[in-house]
Amino acid sequence: MKKTLITTGIIAVVAFIILFALTRIGSKKNRIELYTEVKKGQFEISVTSAGELIAEKSVDIKGPEIAMGRDIRFMNIKIQDLIPEGTVIKKGDYVATLDRTDLNNNLKDAQESLTTLKTNLEVKLLDTAVVLNNLRDEIKNQQFTVQEAAMTLHNSKYEPPTTIREAEIQLDKAQRTLEQQQRSYTQIFAQNKTDIVNQNYWVRKVSQRVKDIEEVLAEFTIKAPASGMVIYKREWSGTKRKVGSMINPFDRVVATLPDLTSMISKTYINEIDVSKMKNGQNVNITIDAFPKKRFNGIVSFVANVGEKLLNTNDKVFEVQVKVDGNDPELRPSMTTGNKIIVTTVKDAIYIPIECVQAGTDSIPFVYTKRGTKQIVLLGESNEKQVLIEKGLEPGTLIFLNNPENPEKFRLEGKDLMKIIKEREKSRSAMAGTFRKKPGGVF
């Protein structure tokens, strides 16, 4: 029993020693993997951002247009029905239906008004015909009366003067009555004619309104102006128009038919990096939907005015990248990754950004494998690497992070400290100049 316990103890001690040795070896191996080599070669300075595919050109599918001269007023029209986004259609195919409720009510009111106006016009025409006919009969009768009075006067020339005078008076009265009836007829005729013209005007006007409303209502069933794939119209807020959304006479677009042979990757760059953007810069494009595919493009548009993203205070600038060539699998609204190549430096010396350390004085340095704390003069950087202007040679092994016992590393490159401080001072002065406003107000 005692021998068994001794044997077990020896085995445990040996196992511990082996485990400790393996751990030390593993730790040493892990430290070796924390080194990297200073490299020399082509260095790309780029800005990376996510974006969205849009068509460079597209045909808008619009709601009804209110032409000049049409007596129709409406503002917001609800989209009542809309075919699914992505549907491939031909010219003349059905796309959407707009809510007719308000305009149907307007049409009903106009039709009722037209019926009333037509009835009133018919009544006016009949009344005018009767009145004028009666007046013409009265004038005709009065003309006979004048003739009779004239004959009586003629026959009384051998009568006493009193009788002749009575005959003259009767003729004069008959003639004046005839003249009054003729003037009255002319006035009544003119008045009725004016009334009829006015009523005809309103009948034509309301008839045209009914016709216009019927024509506009016919356009509430929207059909495709061309062949293509239906893509919903995007609102200013970023949401897409769908069933229940509103259109108005100033923005009648329901959906679009994009030209899929020419695509744009639209992205937004923050205000810090937008100064680096220029038309013609090369761009490497990836599509989230097709991770194995790669596309090239060039910057075709850089906005001069910034805008704020929704729900953030970040100011960004729109940048458009034209995709080279075309691919039948590319579709609008697909998410893109855009690597915009700002500058390419040949024969550059560079290291990973995570290798760079900085003390309280903000002087950058790296730890080298040969036990030095090397001060470095940094240049421009991209997302992963930074240029080394002075302080390191290609092939030098450096730590990726803090080594063990960093206090034992000797400091080298003190001659670079003055250059770094002067450069930092110059940058601070320049930044202050840009921030300064007239009158010395910052």
Q: Is the pLDDT of residue 20 over 60?
A: no
We report the CATH number of the domain holding residue 314 as 2.40.30.170
Domain membership flag for residue 427: yes
> Is 223 in contact with 94 (CB distance < 8 Å)?
yes
DSSP string for residues in 240-274: BP-TT-EEBTTB-EEEEEE-TTSEEEEEEEETTTG
Same domain, 175 and 136: yes
Same domain, 430 and 362: yes
Q: Would 2 be classed as within a structural domain?
A: no
Q: Is the pLDDT of residue 12 over 70?
A: no
Query: If you search the block for the tokens 């075919």, which residue do you land on?
Result: 83
126 lies in a domain?
yes
Task: Say if residue 417 is in the same domain as residue 430.
Answer: yes
Is residue 192 assigned to a domain?
Answer: yes
Q: Is the pLDDT of residue 19 over 80?
A: no
Q: Is the pLDDT of residue 6 over 50?
A: no
Listed residues 163, 191, 218: the one ending a domain: 218
- E strands in 121-249: 221-223, 228-229, 231-232, 246-247
Q: Between these two residues, 144 and 249, which has the higher pLDDT value?
A: 144
| 326 belongs to a structural domain | yes
| 33 inside domain | no
Residue 214 has pLDDT above 60, yes or no: yes
Task: Retrieve residue 263's tokens.
Answer: 């695509």
Give me the domain span that covers residue 247: 60-98+227-258
Q: Are residues 341 and 426 in the same domain?
A: yes
Q: What is the pLDDT of residue 442?
A: 23
Nearest-angstrom CA–CA distance, 41 and 172: 126
Query: Is pLDDT of 113 > 90?
Result: yes
Q: Give the domain-ending residue among 154, 186, 218.
A: 218
- C-alpha Rg value of the chain to the nearest Å: 48
Percentage of the chain lying above the pLDDT 70 cut: 87
In angstroms, the CA 65 to CA 72 distance is 11
295 with 394, same domain?
Answer: yes
* Same domain, residue pair 119 and 267: no
Same domain, 423 and 342: yes
pLDDT of residue 65: 79
pLDDT at 103: 86
Please report whether residue 412 resides in a domain.
yes
Q: How many domains does the chain have?
A: 3
50-88 pLDDT, tens per residue? Answer: 999 998 888 999 988 765 456 676 678 899 999 998 898
**What is the model's pLDDT at position 191?**
94
The verdict on 268 and 414 lying in the same domain is yes
Establish if 310 belongs to a structural domain.
yes
Q: Are residues 429 and 286 in the same domain?
A: yes
Q: What is the pLDDT of residues 293-352, one digit of tens each?
A: 999 999 999 999 988 877 777 889 999 999 998 888 888 889 999 999 998 889 999 999
Same domain, 360 and 287: yes
163 token code pair: 């009788």
Shared domain for 123 and 203, answered yes or no, is: yes
**Rounded Cα gap, residues 37 and 28, in angstroms:** 18
- Tell me, yes or no, whether 254 and 271 share the same domain: no
